[in-house]
């Protein structure tokens, strides 16, 4: 996966990115779930684009996998 800023517009896109980063890290879903302190079903649902995931857990998974989450308010540039 190319590094740099990636704009996402759906939960499915976020899930795909998380899955790619996990696989690049050589982690199974079970290993990543343990690392992120979430259940295997939660991580699986997140990677599949389940839209009911709790935002706090989503941010925790991103952080533990080394993904920096940034929001850019309208009108601001990178």
d(CA 5, CA 10): 15
**pLDDT (tens digit per residue) in 19-77:** 999 999 999 999 999 999 999 999 999 999 988 878 889 999 999 999 999 887 788 77
Q: Is the pLDDT of residue 8 over 90?
A: no
- Domains detected in the chain: 11-64 (1.10.260.40)
Helices 11-24 and 40-47 sit at what angle, rounded to 10 degrees?
120
Query: What are the residues whose beta carbons fall under 8 Å from the beta carbon of 22, sequence distance 6 or more?
Result: 29, 32, 47, 65
Q: Is the pLDDT of residue 17 over 70?
A: yes
Rounded to two decimals, the pTM is 0.79
pLDDT score, position 78: 63
pLDDT score, position 3: 64
């Amino acid at each position: 996966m190319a590094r740099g800023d990636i704009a996402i517009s759906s939960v499915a896109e976020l899930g795909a990115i998380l899955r790619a980063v996990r696989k690049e890290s050589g982690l199974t879903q079970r290993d990543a779930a343990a690392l992120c302190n979430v259940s295997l079903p939660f991580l699986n649902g997140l990677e599949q684009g389940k839209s009911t995931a709790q935002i706090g857990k989503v941010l925790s998974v991103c952080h533990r996998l080394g993904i920096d989450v940034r929001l850019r308010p309208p009108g601001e540039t990178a």
